[in-house]
Amino acid sequence: MLSHVLSAWFAFLLPCYGTWKALSHRPVSEPELEKWAMYWSVVGAFVALEYVAEWFISWFPFYWELKTIILLFLSLPQTQACTSNVRCSREY
């Protein structure tokens, strides 16, 4: 149950606040907007993939804990995981 709450917190609530904070500043910083657009694109793809495959992958042990760690990794600005993933995929 705690993993469900943490997963939602790291995937949606915390980034929503960051996006709102970036949009509320004038003038709006282009790199900041690009960072949040990349984040929401990656998380949207992750959620869509999870929706399709959840009936199978939810049976694995520690599924929610692993999902929470992945979403934390994607949402933390220190890791810049979304930005590097999108930039690497643009090369191909």
Question: Domain locations in the chain?
Answer: 2-90
Q: Is 27 left (phi over 0), alpha (psi -120 to 50) or beta?
A: beta
| Each residue's pLDDT tens digit, 19-65 | 898 889 888 888 888 888 888 888 898 889 988 998 888 888 888 88
Q: Calculate the dihedral angle through the C-alpha atoms of 54, 89, 73, 52, rounding to the nearest 10 degrees.
A: -10
Q: What is the pTM of this model?
A: 0.75
pLDDT at 92: 52
pLDDT at 37: 86
Higher pLDDT: 5 or 82? It is: 5
